[in-house]
A and B are shown apart, each in its own frame.
Chain A
């Protein structure tokens, strides 16, 4: 099982054994990682599961898809490595992935 590392805004780290096929958002919720609201339940329509992908991982994880970009674009606090975690499916390739959580969700 791939390991995902979530880092809260205050620096607290969570190392999670993730299931392949689950989303990065659901994995955080299922394992009690705080800081992700996921108000729309994974429909890419609220932007409250915002994460920042650690720089050396951005090419592996890839760019936001079109509908994700539309939602991210409305958030004044989005960064170049911002993604919505409901749009990232866990694969073996993501073993060791590090994502940072914003101070506030949108």
Chain B
């Protein structure tokens, strides 16, 4: 499919989940045709079994908020869970259990707590930017995006700081597999995730008794709804929180640099008017949509835009496509840092599963760009980014850049 013009392939042969489309960045034209001609599209055969694709903003919103008719269980990505290695996590549970577990940890990233985190985030951002090499090419993903998001996670978990890159590794392993090249075999993936569980179990033991801490581990270990969780459920929820804070903002941090290089007029607007940064942050998140999809299972037959989704069918909401839907977003294929209503995008999802860390993500990105603009006239992209070959994590492995200080 990847070597063809999307308009030469019959719609019933469309399988937008194919990895090659994502690895080679060919998916957007396929999405455009689906939005125009088959917005509620059934793919009968794929590596992940049969599934429906929703590609328009309004259809995605309708399904996302309707948790009674569309279940998040047993998983929220197109890949079905491994039967011998289940990882229950609250994002893949329906209310009321979802709500009970989520509420246990939500407080750590509630806006009121972010106020106290802001200084720490700013200081770390300053340190990371001040340490970057001058006058030579380096990898923005490794030196800035991964470093900043991993430091943030280490703080939220109160995780041993010197071991923080383990969090990055576990995040990559959790969302990847042999097919994305992050591990050689499924067995290796399971082994590494069990190492993760072992490491975190030690931290759990230490913190179960210590009152008054508000890191994620203490909250889970002491919360009424979570303190008796099984090890699998503990690991599942840890992975949820690690991936949620890692694979997402990391890629928005990289995407902003690329988008501004591709749109020099927007870069000029930013230099002339740094007060646009909060609005630009929302536009970057829409533009990148770091998680390309979420999946649901229909709890009953459901009619949507003229098609009938059958009870039990797998439904993929392609946030990435909905965020480029001209029916809901004005000039969606343009990156506009002063876009009106920039906050109205699908990247955080809607309904009870809406991203728990959305305000933290925005805060991290806002501080990053405020500190960048105090130091650098131009972050120059020096080569093509390497893409993560995944239809779920929409992001970058590396991005060569060079700095041009003020």
Contacts and interface: CB of A to CB of B under 8 A. Distances in A.
Interface of A: 37-41, 43-48, 67, 70-71, 73-77, 103-106
A104 B359 contact: yes
B99 A73 contact: yes
User: Which 10 A-B residue pairs are closest in the complex by CB-CB distance?
Assistant: A104-B111, A45-B65, A45-B350, A45-B351, A39-B343, A76-B110, A76-B107, A40-B350, A41-B344, A76-B106
B354 interface: yes
Contacts of B107: 76
Given A37-B343, A40-B344, A104-B359, A46 B111 contact: no
Contacts of B352: 70-71, 74
Contacts of B114: 104
Given A44-B65, A70-B95, A77 B350 contact: no
B350 A46 contact: yes
B103 A74 contact: yes
Interface in B100-114: 102-103, 106-107, 110-112, 114
Contacts of B99: 70, 73-74
A103 B113 CA distance: 12
Nearest to B359: A104
A46 B64 CA distance: 11
Contacts of A77: 110-112
B61 interface: yes
Interface of B: 61, 64-65, 95, 99, 102-103, 106-107, 110-112, 114, 341, 343-345, 348, 350-352, 354, 359
20 contacts: A39-B344, A39-B348, A41-B344, A45-B65, A45-B350, A45-B351, A46-B350, A70-B352, A71-B351, A71-B352, A73-B103, A74-B102, A74-B106, A77-B111, A77-B112, A103-B111, A104-B111, A104-B112, A104-B359, A105-B111
A75 B103 CA distance: 8
A47 B349 CA distance: 12
A37 B342 CA distance: 10
A84 to B, nearest CB: 13
Contacts of B111: 77, 103-106
A106 B95 CA distance: 19
Nearest to B282: A39
Given A45-B350, A71-B352, A74-B106, A40 B61 contact: yes
Nearest to A70: B352
B110 A43 contact: no
Contacts of A47: 354
B112 A45 contact: no
Contacts of A104: 111-112, 114, 359
A103 B58 CA distance: 30
Given A40-B61, A74-B106, 10 more contacts: A38-B343, A39-B344, A46-B350, A46-B354, A73-B103, A74-B102, A75-B110, A76-B112, A104-B111, A104-B114
Contacts of A45: 61, 64-65, 350-351, 354
Contacts of B343: 37-39, 48
B342 to A, nearest CB: 10
B82 to A, nearest CB: 29
Contacts of A43: 61, 65, 350
Contacts of A40: 61, 65, 344, 350
A39 B57 CA distance: 13
